[in-house]
Every structure is written in C-alpha cells, then in structure tokens.
Amino acid sequence: MNTHTGRAPTIWEEGREPGHAVASLTVAVLLTATVVDVLLSRSLGLVFDLTFVTACVFAALAVRPTDFFAVGVLPPLAMLGAVVLLAITEPETVAHPADGAVQATISGLSAHSVALVAGYLLCLGVLAVRRQVGGR
C-alpha cells in the first residue's frame, strides 16, 4: 500500500532496487544474452537486440528513484561494453573477420543501432514517467 494515498503502488512507483545492483544485473543479463546469441548463430543478432531492449526497460522499472542517473547512462555503456568485448576477442561476430578492434566496435555498434536507440529511448521514457508519477 502507498502510505500517502492508501492504495497499492502502480508499476511506475514500485522500483526500489539500488542503482549498482540494477546495473550489475543488467550487465550480467546482457553478457549472458551475448554468449547465447554467439553460440547459437556465431554472430551478435536478434537474441541480443531483443534482450537489450527488454533489459533497458526492466532496469528503468526496477531502480529506486534516487539512482535514476545510474540506469539513465547504462544502455549505451552496456552496449558498448558487449560490442568491445566481442570486437577484441571474436571480431567476426560483430564485423568482418579482418577488421581491427576499433573498426569491429564501430561496425558492431552501427549494426545494433536500432536496438541501442530503442532501448535507450524506452529506458529514458520509463524514467521520465516514473519521475512524473513519483513527483505527485
């Protein structure tokens, strides 16, 4: 029950997890999705993209209001981290096999730019709604 209104909290009011815990869990989920996607298809693809967008939304819903910043900057950093790890270790999963790490990173980010933009916009949108609802 919401102590101020005497009603159950809405989905926008429920997030109470610390930012570092949400960020750690989100990164763990994305790294797991990366490994699964590469094992299944030998490249970073749709499994990673869908998991990325979903994880961004769930992170924004789970974090406590005082830690919105941590989740607000998480999506691009998480995507960059996953792509850089693959660009260094297995560049053929995100780019041409002969590409260097920098070129593979750029290729990987551009190939997954739709998921990056969608996940980031949804994350920021959910945080904005939560801020509006929480401010009442």
Can you give the pLDDT at residue 122? 98
How many CB atoms within 10 Å of residue 66?
9
Q: Which residues, in sequence order, are CB contacts of 12 under 8 Å at separation 6+?
A: 61, 129, 130, 133, 134
Per cent of the chain over pLDDT 70 is 93
Can you give the pLDDT at residue 13? 83
Q: Which residues, in sequence order, are CB contacts of 88 under 8 Å at separation 6+?
A: 101
Can you give the pLDDT at residue 110? 98
Which one-letter DSSP state was computed for residue 97?
T
Can you give the pLDDT at residue 2? 52
Low-confidence stretches of the chain (pLDDT beneath 70) = 1-6, 135-136
Can you give the pLDDT at residue 4? 57
User: Are 123 and 72 contacting, i.e. CB atoms less than 8 angstroms apart?
Assistant: yes
